[in-house]
Amino acid sequence: MPILDSQEPSQSSARHAMAVAVLSVVILLLLQAVPWGSLTGNRLKDFNLFADIFPHETSYEPIAAATDIDPELQSYMEESTLESEAAEPEAYAESVVVPQFTEVPRVDGRVVIEDYSSGGDGMADFRAALASATERLVRVAVLGDSYIEGDILVQDLRRLFRLRFGGNGVGYMAMHSEFPGFRRSVRQSDSGWKAIDVRTMRNSDTLRTIAGEYARVDGVKAKSRFEGSGRPDVSNSSWSRSRFAFISTDSGSVTLTIDGLPPQTYPCGNAGKLQVLSLDGPTSSFTVESDAPGLKALGVWLDAATGVAVDCMSQRGNSGVGLRRTDKRLTDAMSHHVSYDLIIMEYGMNALSAEQKEYGGYSAGIAESISRLQELYPDASLLLMGVGDRGFKDGAAVKSLPTCSALVEAQRNAARRCGVMFYDTRAAQGGEGGVVEWRKRGLVNADYIHLNHDGGAALAEELFFAIMNSVDE
């Protein structure tokens, strides 16, 4: 009996320990099944108890559904057979300028511009323009997708140019914004407009400018109001020249209002030709109203007479391929009022996917767009930005999407073919794993794709350094 008495507590203890162990495993399995990443915006990561025991295949799972597919790119790829024929850079051997760089060039450890222009000085036109910034307005266009939506990156690039060369105002503004509060550099409100952009334009639509969008009076009356902001710097709080560009085929009127002056009303011509109305004078708010049925508004420009203006022209889901259809006659007419000395193209996220490893077709498409811009703006310097780094979920870890490097090379190859400048954005972020590090620093959103305002400021510093390094050479 004493022996039996001594064994009973031991058996009870063993059963208790086993129950605790089983319960612990069950709890851990349940915790593993919870999608912590999506629930917490990736502040907490998903985990796999058996990741170190059983090998797993790499899963290119996006962090979030953060990019849209450009229908213009889909259409282009359906029409072209180049995707299967010209995937590798070697396929362009006869037309490609011999690369001048065996690796990404740097100065003081910072990425600088790769210049593939025939004379090796693609910044010559812009340099000459900046030399006259005290006498005229030097204008920069930044064309892009959701990566620069809300003036991210561009607002800080504008600020840096202003610190050195002067100027004020935010430049180009569309008549309608889907997310007006997202943009910090201007306060916008609007009503009565139907917005049309490259994603919804018909093939026959000739109202294609580099802005890639316009708005139509949708109903009896439309109105937009733009108010200055002191963010991210005071140069956005006011300006001295307010312009409105439009085309009308019906009778009606346009009314413009700036600070301290009574509304100015103008009759609309109905010839279907470009009209640009302008009001000069210090102002911190500008209002446009129209009762002309079907009037098509190309946008407003809020500027100074001298210094540097930097226009942000972004459309979510835009791959940049649609620029190849930019209308020459309308562009020529616009250039009498608004032209450009430097055009920066920021595209790629809407062409990038985990499955596609070859981007020869996209390279050909963006090269057509570059060539079109060279034709339309022969006196402008042109800079193509490579796509930024993008993350994907590999089990519990977040890594750089492996296909990013292939798309960057396709973009670089397009710059070589067209003889323009190229900036390796991904390298400026740190290359492989850069987006993960930028997320740790609070510079990109939880989708591991898009910059936040702080990230836009950080990249603007790098890009401005690269531009001025070429200008000052």
Alpha carbons within 13 angstroms on the beta-carbon side of residue 85 total: 6
pLDDT of residue 439: 97
Question: Other C-beta atoms within 10 Å of 157: how many?
Answer: 25
DSSP state of 354: S
Q: What is the pLDDT of residues 24-64, one digit of tens each?
A: 666 666 665 565 544 544 444 444 554 443 444 444 455 54
Does the pLDDT value for residue 180 go beyond 60? Answer: yes
3-state percent breakdown (helix, strand, coil) of the chain, nearest 5: 35, 25, 40
pLDDT of residue 301: 98
The H or E element that residue 193 is part of is strand 193-197
Do both 376 and 467 map to the same domain? yes
Q: What domain range includes position 12?
A: 2-33
The answer to whether the beta carbons of residues 335 and 384 sit under 8 Å apart is no
The answer to whether the beta carbons of residues 401 and 354 sit under 8 Å apart is yes
**pLDDT-above-90 percentage for the chain:** 69
Q: Which of 446, 452, 450, 435 is nearest to 42 (CA)?
A: 446
Residue that is last in its domain, among 278, 305, 332 = 305
b/e 411-426 (16+ beta carbons within 10 angstroms → b)? bbbbbbbbbbbbbbbb
Q: Which two tokens stand for residue 189?
A: 């409100």
Q: Which of 97, 90, 95 is nearest to 360 (CA)?
A: 90
Domain assignment of residue 466, yes or no: yes
Q: Which two tokens stand for residue 57?
A: 């295949």
Domain assignment of residue 40, yes or no: no
Residue that is last in its domain, among 287, 305, 323 = 305
The H or E element that residue 364 is part of is helix 360-376
Domain assignment of residue 48, yes or no: no
Position 4, amino acid: L
Do both 272 and 282 map to the same domain? yes
Q: Rounded mean pLDDT of 197-203?
A: 87
Do both 245 and 271 map to the same domain? yes
- C-alpha distances (whole Å) from 319 to each of 76, 78, 184, 344 are 11, 15, 25, 14
Domain assignment of residue 66, yes or no: yes
The residue to which tokens 């797993």 are assigned: 56
220 phi and psi angles, rounded to 5 deg: -80, -40
Residue that is last in its domain, among 288, 305, 322 = 305
Domain assignment of residue 41, yes or no: no
Instruction: Report angle CA 299, 305, 309 to the nearest 5 degrees.
Output: 55
Do both 282 and 299 map to the same domain? yes
Do both 396 and 452 map to the same domain? yes
Do both 342 and 369 map to the same domain? yes
Q: Rounded mean pLDDT of 241-259?
A: 95
Do both 145 and 179 map to the same domain? no
pLDDT of residue 100: 65
Instruction: Please tell me the least confidently modeled range out of 14-28, 100-114, 304-318, 435-449.
Output: 14-28
Q: Rounded mean pLDDT of 121-144?
A: 98
Do both 82 and 186 map to the same domain? no
Do both 322 and 442 map to the same domain? yes
Domain assignment of residue 47, yes or no: no
> For the chain, first and last CA: distance in Å?
98
Q: Which of 366, 311, 371 is nearest to 339 (CA)?
A: 311
pLDDT of residue 462: 98
Position 152, amino acid: I
Q: Is the dihedral of CA 122, 306, 323, 184 positive or negative?
A: positive
pLDDT of residue 458: 98
Q: Which residues contact 387 (CB under 8 A, 6 or more apart)?
A: 347, 348, 349, 351, 352, 404, 407, 408, 411, 425, 426
Do both 9 and 81 map to the same domain? no
Q: What is the pLDDT of residues 209-219, one digit of tens each?
A: 999 999 999 98
Task: Place 260 in a pLDDT band, splitting at 50, 70 and 90.
Answer: confident
Do both 282 and 329 map to the same domain? no
Q: Rounded mean pLDDT of 307-316?
A: 96
Q: What is the pLDDT of residues 331-366, one digit of tens each?
A: 999 999 999 999 999 999 989 988 889 999 999 999
- For 261-388, strand residue ranges (E) read 264-267, 274-283, 285-290, 296-303, 307-314, 342-346, 381-385
Do both 76 and 191 map to the same domain? no
At residue 323, the 3 state secondary structure works out as: helix
Domain assignment of residue 125, yes or no: yes
Q: Which two tokens stand for residue 151?
A: 């003036």
Tally of domains within the chain: 3
Look up the CATH number of the domain holding residue 229. 2.60.120.1360
Pairing of strands 342-346, 137-144: parallel
Q: What is the pTM of this model?
A: 0.84
Look up the CATH number of the domain holding residue 134. 3.40.50.1110
Rounded Cα gap, residues 442 and 425, in angstroms: 18
Instruction: Report angle CA 100, 103, 106 to the nearest 5 degrees.
Output: 95
Domain assignment of residue 235, yes or no: yes
